[in-house]
Amino acid sequence: MRVSWDEYFMEIAQVVSKRSTCLRRQVGAVLVKDNRILATGYNGAPSKISHCSELGCLRMAENIPSGERHELCRGLHAEQNAIIQAALYGVSVQGADLYSTCQPCILCAKMLINVGVKRIIYKGAYPDKMSLDMLEEAGITLVQWGEEEKDGAEIDFSTQTK
């Protein structure tokens, strides 16, 4: 049976995440427009900088919870790296969809809003309600990917508590 476009791109995001050098969470992201891949990204340290997989993780050593103190990390997020890759090669991502193995954090949400992403399909949740609130306010469609049914479910913001 032929997979849907959403399943196809989500599986690619999962493969991209395998390049991650983060010790806590491996994330992959794919920016897509008109069913064509524009750019991919995974979380890890900037180019030419040692990775946490080589040096260890400051966040783990300091017991910093997910969703807090983003500045205490050597790595870039997968969404950030996908946006950077598109920019490096002069590819506009305005109007694109983002497929990610994890819900964007607030930092990535702000970037995705400003580059004009219209829809975000993500697999795993992330402890960052402010991110969801900003994406809702910006009118970006969020779809949480369901592992069991291999299908996405659009988030109904009207039922969420503020």
Side-by-side strand order, sheet with 119-124: 36-42, 28-33, 97-102, 119-124, 141-146, 151-154
Q: Would residue 79 show up in a list of annotated catalytic residues for this protein?
A: yes
Q: Kindly name the residue from 7, 54, 68, 79 that is annotated as catalytic.
A: 79
Query: What number of other Cβ atoms are within 10 A of residue 100's Cβ?
Result: 29
Give the CA dihedral 102, 128, 67, 19, nearest 10 degrees. Answer: 10
Cα 109 to Cα 13, 54, 97, 137, 159, distances in angstroms: 17, 29, 13, 11, 21
Question: Residues with catalytic annotation?
Answer: 79
